[in-house]
């Protein structure tokens, strides 16, 4: 039996068009989420502000308890889950959300628990100017055909993947102002048929 190609899913950009101008895009719902990485980031920022603040106002910037961290606004389209599941791919999270995509994102769009890529070092600067995920994506795919949906991919990533991945691969840039579109789903169907 032949394995399906992998569809590697980033959250912010493709599924959450976080950079959309002014308001939530049509078809999307708003979710206020508290993933642990977001809480940690907010607490680090509050601690940094407290260190920089004059002594008299430090109490105001003291570390807030988890319950007082402002939730992250995420826009998700509930139609995307069924559309993704209908594609001839094995779905995998390729996001900084890692396992928390199964807790916070998947259930809100109708996806089951999915495997996810554990990054060796998040947001690390690459010596060749690649996206910080690129090398881990190729290693994780281990020669299997894949499509990688992300809002931060560039030509250098596509070139490096073509030179270093033995199987077919497609990097599909998704505009974070718009998110996944019908054209993207058509591209995914066409690529899977050709692969």
The reply to whether 120 falls in a domain is yes
Name every residue whose Cβ is closer than 8 Å to that of residue 139 and which is 6 or more positions away in sequence.
none
The reply to whether 168 falls in a domain is yes
The reply to whether 187 falls in a domain is yes
Residue 61 in this model has a pLDDT that exceeds 80: no
Q: Based on the domain organization, do 91 and 53 belong to the same domain?
A: no
Cβ atoms of residues 134 and 142 within 8 Å: no
Q: Based on the domain organization, do 135 and 187 belong to the same domain?
A: yes
Q: Based on the domain organization, do 84 and 172 belong to the same domain?
A: yes
Reported pTM:
0.88
Domain that holds residue 59: 35-68
Query: How many angstroms separate the CA atoms of 90 and 92, rounded?
Result: 7
Cβ atoms of residues 131 and 157 within 8 Å: yes
Query: How many angstroms separate the CA atoms of 117 and 119, rounded?
Result: 6
The reply to whether 137 falls in a domain is yes
Q: How many separate domains does the chain show? A: 2
Average pLDDT, the chain: 91
Name every residue whose Cβ is closer than 8 Å to that of residue 42 and which is 6 or more positions away in sequence.
64, 69, 70
Q: Based on the domain organization, do 122 and 171 belong to the same domain?
A: yes
The reply to whether 29 falls in a domain is no
Q: Based on the domain organization, do 109 and 16 belong to the same domain?
A: yes
- pLDDT tens for 114-139 read 999 999 988 889 889 999 999 999 99
- pLDDT tens for 168-190 read 999 999 999 999 999 999 999 99
Query: How many angstroms separate the CA atoms of 127 and 34, rounded?
Result: 33
């Amino acid at each position: 039996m032949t394995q399906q190609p992998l569809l590697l899913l980033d959250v912010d950009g493709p599924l959450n068009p976080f950079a959309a101008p002014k308001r939530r895009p049509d078809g999307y719902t708003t979710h206020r989420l508290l993933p642990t990485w977001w809480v940690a980031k907010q607490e680090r920022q509050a601690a940094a502000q407290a260190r920089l603040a004059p002594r008299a106002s430090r109490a105001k910037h003291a570390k807030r308890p988890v319950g007082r961290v402002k939730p992250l606004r995420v826009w998700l389209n509930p139609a995307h889950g069924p559309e993704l599941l209908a594609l001839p791919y094995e779905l995998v999270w390729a996001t900084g959300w890692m396992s928390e995509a199964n807790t916070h994102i998947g259930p809100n769009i109708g996806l089951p628990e999915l495997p996810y890529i554990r990054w060796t070092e998040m947001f690390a600067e690459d010596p060749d100017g690649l996206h910080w995920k690129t090398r881990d994506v190729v290693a994780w795919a281990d020669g299997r055909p894949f499509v990688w949906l992300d809002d931060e991919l560039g030509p250098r990533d596509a070139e490096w993947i073509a030179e270093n991945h033995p199987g077919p691969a497609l990097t599909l840039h998704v505009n974070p102002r718009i998110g996944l579109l019908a054209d993207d789903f058509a591209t995914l169907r066409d690529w899977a048929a050709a692969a």
